[in-house]
Amino acid sequence: MSEWSSGNEERRLELTSRIVAAYLSRNVVPPADLPDLIEQTYSSLSSTSQSDKADLAVEERRPAIPIKKSVTSEFIICLEDGQKFKSLRRHLMAKYGLTPEEYRARWDLPADYPMVAPNYAEQRSALARAAGFGKRREVRE
C-alpha cells in the first residue's frame, strides 16, 4: 500500500468516526446496529472518494478567460465563470466558497494578484485620504 493511499485510508477512518459520533449525538441507535452504521458510513466515504478521483482525472480546470486578460483597469474578470467585477472577494465566497488565497492557489496565481480592479482601488484610496484615514489625530490635553 502506498503512502498516498494509506493517508486516504486514515482520513476516511477519521471522517467515519466523526460522522458516526455526530450522528449518535442526535440519534438513538441500538448497540447491535452500530457496526452496520459504521460500515455503511465508511463504504459511502470510500465510494465517494473513488468517484471524486475519477472526476478529477477527467476534468481539467480551464479558466473562463485567459489569465493575462482577467485584470483590466475597470474590472477584474472571474476565472471561474467569466463575470466582470470591481471587487472579486464577495463573489468568490458567495458563489464558490473560496477565499482569495484559495482562488489564487486554484489558478496558480501570484500572491499579489489583485482582488479589486485598479481604478476602483484608486477611487477607494482617494475617498479614504479625503476622509482623513491614515493620518494621526492630534492629542488634546
Report the alpha-carbon distance of residue 39 to residue 55 in Å, rounded: 24
What pTM was estimated for this model as a whole?
A: 0.54
Using the predicted structure, report yes or no on whether residue 72 has a pLDDT greater than 90. Answer: yes
The residues pairing with 116 across neighbouring beta strands, listed in sequence order, are 87
Q: How far is CA 124 from the centre of its chain?
A: 26
pLDDT at 45: 87
**Contact at 8 Å (CB) between 114 and 77?**
no
Query: With respect to CATH, is domain 67-130 assigned 1.10.10.1550?
Result: yes
What digits encode the pLDDT tens for the residues 12-58? 999 999 999 999 988 999 999 999 999 999 998 888 755 555 555 44
SS3 84: strand
How is the chain split into domains, by residue range? 3-58, 67-130
Round the average pLDDT of the chain to a whole number and report it.
Answer: 86
